[in-house]
């Protein structure tokens, strides 16, 4: 296999796996938690100094984690979606650190933050809707 082809296959595998886990373990549970859970998620922005409209921020985070994850999987609008997912992970990191969960509890969101930043910079690769 050529290096470019294997790189694009690798990007596809990462996109599908990461997008699916973001959807299944983060996005869908927020929806299943109902409006109360979504508003609670929206209150996480208090850790970066935003103390208004928690429902708006919760809906935004939930939408990014559901719709954004689906778009990430298929590789549509990968760069802007990745930037939104990175921003969501930044807020999640601030939440974990602000609530005193420590660096170990925050490590997952920090890792995802940097992976999404990388995808925002490099794009989805050859095997994506963006490339069609």
Cα(61)–Cα(78) distance, integer angstroms: 17
Write the DSSP symbol of residue 101. Answer: -
pTM over 0.75: yes
Contact 38, 30 (CB under 8 A): yes
Q: What integer pLDDT is reported at residue 99 of this predicted model?
A: 80
pLDDT tens, position by position, 53-85: 989 999 999 999 999 999 999 999 999 999 999
Cα(53)–Cα(123) distance, integer angstroms: 32
Phi/psi for 10 (5° steps) reads -60, -45
**Residues of the chain under the 50 pLDDT cut:** none
Domain residue spans of the chain: 3-131
Cα(96)–Cα(113) distance, integer angstroms: 13
């Amino acid at each position: 296999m050529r290096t470019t082809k294997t790189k694009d296959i690798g990007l596809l595998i990462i996109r599908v796996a990461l997008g699916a886990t973001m959807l299944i373990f983060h996005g869908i549970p927020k929806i299943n938690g109902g409006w109360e859970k979504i508003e609670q998620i929206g209150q996480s922005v208090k850790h970066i100094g935003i103390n208004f409209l928690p429902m708006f921020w919760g809906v935004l985070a939930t939408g990014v984690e559901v719709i954004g994850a689906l778009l990430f999987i298929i590789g549509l609008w990968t760069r802007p979606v990745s930037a939104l997912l990175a921003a969501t992970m930044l807020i999640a990191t601030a939440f974990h650190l602000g609530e005193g969960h420590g660096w170990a509890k925050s490590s997952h969101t920090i890792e995802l933050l940097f992976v999404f930043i990388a995808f925002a910079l490099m794009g989805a690769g050859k095997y994506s809707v963006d490339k069609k």
